[in-house]
């Protein structure tokens, strides 16, 4: 297994990215190869600072960097010697089994669409996040920002992709899929949710349990909750602020720590032909480590091949 990491991506790169790779390297099995893509001298310098043998990594030198301020599509098209571009190139040529970066989110999405492309049959890829609802249980929420405007058939597919992820990554045998709405009754909601409910209610592809309200997200009502990217992103940012508030008023509990973005590392792009994870721009070394480990988990699950087969 070969996992690629964009060393130059993120607000705290390359210090945090190299240290995160070091932390992951100590956990990953010997047959899992970590490929660090970035400015070689910086990588070697950080490894030396950490007293870590750089020979335990495969290092791919990149002359350019796509910054957070770069125009996503233009930067990915022009900076073909950047760490992010080289990572996607390697992934598209099967030189990597997975790729992750905490760099420019728009450029990551552009790279995924331009080089990896969607799984045949998928209308729109989606990004998702696992919301904690118990000690080791999670609700997968999608979409959380990639698709602010969607159609009912797109939301239907989000339910299908989410159910596959919940089954093969979260380990839920028969995932319950719900539709985010402002009421539990079928007639509640706006034109989008009403129409989507009608499409989902007789689904032969997954177990649809109906509408899910916002106050049920952290309970055990559903294993997958589907929504447009606008609503999902608002919820995602709200959970981040909720965790920040808990820290601010000095409330400490293991459950609340599950809302710390560092602990889930990265957000997977569902619906494309390879495992790609996007990390938070402010990712620390711990977040980078967990993003790499999540990438490994998705690769081992065989999710992409199973998703391709499911859409045939």
**Could you tell me whether strands 266-270 and 276-279 are parallel, antiparallel, or unpaired per DSSP bridges?**
antiparallel
| Nearest partner of 165 among 130, 134, 132, 196, judged by Cα | 130
Q: Give the C-alpha distances (Å, rounded to integers) separating 253 from 95, 134, 189, 283.
A: 42, 12, 35, 22
**Segment 203-221 mean pLDDT:** 92
pLDDT category at 41 given cuts 50, 70, 90 is: very high
The number of angstroms, rounded, from the C-alpha of 92 to the middle of its chain's C-alpha atoms is 18
Distance CA 62, CA 87 (A): 10
Q: Which domains does the chain have, with CATH numbers?
A: 1-118+271-302 (3.40.718.10), 123-268 (3.40.718.10)
pLDDT category at 312 given cuts 50, 70, 90 is: confident
Distance CA 94, CA 35 (A): 13
CB 174 within 8 A of CB 207: yes
The answer to whether residue 135 scores a pLDDT higher than 70 is: no
Q: Which residue has the tokens 């790729």?
A: 99
Distance CA 198, CA 151 (A): 13
What's residue 137's pLDDT?
Answer: 83
CB 287 within 8 A of CB 24: no
**Segment 171-182 mean pLDDT:** 95
| Nearest partner of 277 among 72, 89, 112, judged by Cα | 112
| Nearest partner of 64 among 109, 104, 113, judged by Cα | 104
Q: What is the rounded average pLDDT for all residues in the chain?
A: 91
The answer to whether residue 167 scores a pLDDT higher than 90 is: yes
> pLDDT tens, 290-311?
999 999 999 999 999 999 999 9
> pLDDT tens, 9-27?
988 999 999 999 999 999 9
Distance CA 295, CA 275 (A): 7
Length of the chain: 312
**Segment 251-279 mean pLDDT:** 82
pLDDT category at 155 given cuts 50, 70, 90 is: very high
Q: What DSSP assignment string belongs to 81-120?
A: TBHHHHHHHHHHTTS-SEEEESS-HHHHHHHIIIII-BPT
The answer to whether residue 102 scores a pLDDT higher than 90 is: yes
Distance CA 150, CA 205 (A): 20
The answer to whether residue 139 scores a pLDDT higher than 70 is: yes
3-state helix, strand, coil in the chain (%, to 5): 45, 20, 40
**Which tokens in the block code for residue 3?**
């996992």
**All residues at 6 or more sequence positions from 247 whose CB lies less than 8 Å from its CB, including other chains:** none
């Amino acid at each position: 297994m070969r996992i690629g990491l964009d060393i130059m991506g993120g607000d705290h790169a390359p210090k945090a990215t190299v240290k995160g790779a070091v932390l992951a390297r100590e956990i990953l099995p010997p047959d899992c190869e970590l490929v660090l893509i970035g400015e070689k001298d910086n990588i070697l310098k950080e490894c030396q600072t950490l007293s870590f043998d750089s020979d335990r990594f495969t290092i791919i030198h990149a002359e350019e960097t796509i910054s957070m301020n770069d125009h996503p599509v233009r930067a990915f098209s022009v900076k073909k010697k950047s760490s992010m571009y080289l990572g996607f190139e390697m992934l598209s040529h099967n030189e990597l089994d997975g790729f992750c970066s905490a760099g420019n989110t728009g450029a990551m999405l552009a790279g995924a669409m331009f080089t990896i492309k969607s799984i045949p049959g998928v209308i729109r890829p989606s990004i998702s996040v696992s919301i904690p609802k118990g000690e080791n249980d999670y609700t997968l929420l999608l979409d959380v920002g990639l698709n602010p405007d969607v159609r009912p058939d797109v939301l239907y597919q989000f339910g299908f992709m989410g159910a596959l992820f919940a089954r093969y990554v979260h380990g839920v045998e028969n995932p319950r899929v719900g539709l985010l709405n402002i009421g539990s009754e079928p007639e509640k909601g706006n034109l989008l949710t009403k129409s989507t409910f009608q499409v989902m209610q007789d689904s032969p592809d997954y177990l649809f349990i109906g509408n899910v309200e916002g106050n049920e997200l952290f309970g055990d009502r559903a294993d997958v909750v589907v929504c447009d990217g606008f609503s999902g992103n608002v919820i995602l940012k709200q959970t981040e602020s909720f965790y920040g508030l808990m820290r601010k008023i000095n409330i400490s509990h293991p459950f609340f720590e599950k809302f710390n973005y560092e602990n889930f590392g990265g957000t997977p792009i569902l619906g494309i032909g390879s495992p790609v994870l996007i990390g938070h721009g402010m990712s620390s070394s711990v977040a980078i480590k967990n993003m790499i480990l999540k990438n490994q988990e998705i690769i081992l699950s065989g999710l992409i091949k199973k998703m391709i087969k499911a859409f045939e």
